[in-house]
Chains A and B, each alone.
Chain A
Amino acid sequence: MDGSIVENPVSALVDDRMDEGMFRVDRSVYTDEDIFEQEIAKIFEKSWIFLCHENQVEKHGDYFWTEIGRQPVFVHRQDDGSLKCFINACSHRAAILTPFRQGNAKTLTCRFHGWSYKCDGACIGIKNEEPDTDKSTFDLREIARLDSYGGFVFGSLSADVPSLDDWLGEAKSWIDLMVVQSTEGLEVVPGSPIYAIDGNWKFQAENSVDGYHVSTVHRVFANTIAAREGKGEYTGIKKTEAGRMAGGVPTGSYDLGNGHMAVWAQHTTPEVRPIWEQKERLERDLTPAQVDWILNKGRNLYIFPNVMLMDNPSTQIRVMKPISASRMDVSVYCIAPKGESDTARAGRLRKFEDFYLTAGMATSDDLAALEDTQEGSLATGAKWNEFTRGMDSIIYGPDKEAAALGFNPPVCTENWDHEIHYHGFYRQWLKMLEEN
């Protein structure tokens, strides 16, 4: 890094004065390429990054190519059923080893010069090999850490990270709420759109747990769905719920620690949700609080720094790949309980398509709003984004809903219009930039 960073320490970018009722962030954090380079080095290459769901690499030889920060890696299912994750570059001259984003290959052969690697990363073939070559010096480089929780696979380029269990911490009970929706496990439904956003990755992190925008940005979605329902065309599980968007339902927001955040809002018509058909089974197998949280609360969970799990109109994994200060790719997957009925699956997918895609009628509006905030952030004449809504309503520790489920957020408020949960996110962000 050059000297400009030293002259403008990152600590000055987060104005954290809770005793004076102030928390604000310098807008240059969304636009400055030097800060972005620090984020790649000190956050994305130094913490647990979501890679894929185990269902995407179910069989021996299945691979999944993704990125940690900007570094290509692939997860590979081994002979013994375990997973390994390697840097996705030939040891010889760096060509990507996987021809597709997702596929199956028990041996990977580089398409450039024909070097080949076993599933466990061992270099087993060098074309026109010269005498006395020690192929083991060309084995693929495994990433430092790989672990999964509830089927969600995370990896780290740095060995110096806490256990995944400790890192996920209070977010685990939210992940559990998705995992327990099937006794057979979850699966990723075929079809995985990617969209590019001209915006900073932190805006996507914020937006995914921003309850406050819903009644403005998604007012038109609610009105569109209301007009549709007026025509009686979509009933039962086919119906996309819009009630909670108008506001006036119970909601909550949580700082879950380690930069993880979450919000929820009460469903007005839980019986149209695809999970409703499993109500009796859930009531038999789970605690009453879990059943309530699954059936009645639409939930968005953000896991620092690159993944969001949504269980709202539909169920989604949303993965961010930062490209520059003002650009990212986002991949979205519909994740669903294995074994659900075709009716529930179709309902889940139609709700997903209505809302969650940039070709849908809500995420498209989020995208446009996000890109506008990126452009507005160039206005250094007014440099602060304030996160102060709800300062007077802070609860330290769990509210009654959190206590019922049994998780222990450091901070929460009983209103998803509030902005207190972002404080934990920016404190984690600052901590990693300062300490790493």
Chain B
Amino acid sequence: MLLKKQISDSLNRCKSYRKRILEISQQVFALHLGGSYSCLEILDYIYEFHIPLRKKNKNDNIFIMSKGHSCIAQYVILENRGVIKKKELDHYCKAGGKLGCHPDYGNPGIEASTGSLGHGLALAVGICKANKIKKNNSKVFVILSDGELQEGSTWEALMMAANLELDNLICFLDHNGSQSYGVTRDEHPKFYPISNKIKSFNWETVTVDGHKIGEIDKKFYQRKTKKPFFLICNTIKGKGISYMENKPEWHYKSPTPEQYTQGLLDIENGI
């Protein structure tokens, strides 16, 4: 179980990540703010408690951002950890910079190129299988978007992960309930329930509040089986910014200078 201090430290880190992302939003338009804010706590949890600060050996756990469009959230964490330099992030999406709007394999801390949805899970299945073949105990952590579950390829990978008995695969679903076109429940009512579908593909499945790392951690260690593990994390798109929360248009939109100021206040005061 996490200590109170660990939880409050995480909340503080996430505050500073939200501010840094907002700051970047004033320099470039190419941002997916809503979906980045929804997965920040999950991401912070994975990095802080499961990914070593410096890659030491081939047995280290790794992380794959399958919802590549939210990689700005990954970048600010990698910056805080010293994996990405401030100067590099300052050049995000700018000519001469190496960090783009989607993760690029070969960049520091980036284990796979994603951005086209429905690719990350199969890549993770392959990596987990390679770890099994090489008798290496490391785990692979993945964050999927809920929209990504509409890709058939995601279900192929879900099926194969179970077939290959990959207990070293842990998948977090950033279930923020909205996507580019609108609110998922309105656009695709038969998409729900999610949990039963994943369970029926032979994954151990739990549901958790994706903004509470204490709860995430508890569920993580209450795992009961050796099946691949799926955590449906209920989250809020645009979490932390009053005018963004649960507004699908903030999937891909940049705040005005006034909205930026308001956003900083929201983050500081905790809405």
Are A and B part of the same complex?
A: no
